[in-house]
Chain A
């Protein structure tokens, strides 16, 4: 009984719909929005996973990943089965991706018996799951910054965003730029705090969509931070951050 309780606690209550479920209910547009979100957040992680295995011989990495998304995401029950699995979405996708790669291998071998394709994963190099977690982290940061900037624009907080960008991303002291913005350093610190709240909400929202509960997110963040160093070799660090 204890186990059942823990499993239930490890995921949002069954009666509470996730963003993905609510959005899917909006029909074709909703499904497009969910697919865009999934591809944007997880593409780099799947690419990194593929590059870390001998399955990279299957062909162009981007084409293989796009093929996986095209094959799986429009299946009617795909996200319902994810929800029932109680897995983080990135692990659900990786599992599906592994099956997809095996299917692709079998199909290639049927059509070209001389092709040199792997039967199993390499098992060499860094832990693929850690790379995927790290790439998920970099993607989360990029997306959280992009969406925070958008939210600032929507709310007329463009100057607030500039303060956040220069202080938090550019690591400039307030005194170095407040005069040109026409505010005091104390006011700038307050404006920065406003954007921090927006950024925090967006960041936590990405983890909610992954399947984490509110009480799990801080721990998840620390886990992903621990994996960030495994991933930057595959993509320029902070590449894609808004300027």
Chain B
């Protein structure tokens, strides 16, 4: 490789790396993504906001949702409550809980064979599931990844 082409390659690579620093247009999920990044993968924080009882939902746990113990109908109820909490509640923590539960239900619908129940564009949903897979603590990280890829969880 010539010196000039090496420099051009470095410049291109630096440009690409720099653009990783940009946030672009804000998405509805970014409050949650930022909070997850700040919470540093602490399982207590995320587990604490994805419990349906927090929003007055049915008496099931987030583990039940992950493990496929919750019916499609109950998932639908949790989804309605989560949307309502996100849209109407003035408490930021409740709004974040609404967002988190909405996407947990979406992941569960995909993983447990009920199909996608979200009206968001497919590309946007997949980008959000990928972000949640990258930032949530176990076992949610693998669950979101599974929802994204349709594969069974792998170790790593």
Contacts and interface: CB of A to CB of B under 8 A. Distances in A.
B23 A200 contact: yes
B20 to A, nearest CB: 6
12 contacts: A144-B21, A168-B20, A183-B154, A184-B151, A187-B154, A190-B130, A193-B130, A200-B20, A207-B21, A218-B24, A221-B21, A228-B15
Interface stretch (B5-13, B43-51, B57-65, B76-84): B5-13
Interface of A: 137-138, 140-141, 144-145, 155, 159, 168-169, 171, 181-184, 186-191, 193-194, 196-201, 203-204, 207, 217-218, 221-222, 224-225, 228-229, 232, 237-238
A194 B14 contact: no
Contact of B11 (A155, A200, A204, A228): A228
Given A155-B41, A159-B156, A184-B156, 18 more contacts: A141-B14, A168-B17, A183-B154, A186-B145, A194-B134, A196-B20, A197-B37, A197-B134, A199-B17, A200-B20, A200-B21, A200-B22, A201-B37, A207-B21, A217-B23, A228-B11, A228-B14, A232-B11
B134 A190 contact: yes
A221 B24 CA distance: 11
Interface residues of B, number: 33
Instruction: Identify the 9 closest CB pairs spanning chains A and B, nearest first.
Output: A183-B156, A203-B21, A237-B10, A193-B134, A194-B134, A218-B22, A187-B156, A186-B149, A190-B133
Nearest to A181: B156
B40 interface: yes
Interface string B74-109: 000000000000000000000000000000000000
Contacts of A144: 21
B135 interface: yes
B21 A217 contact: yes
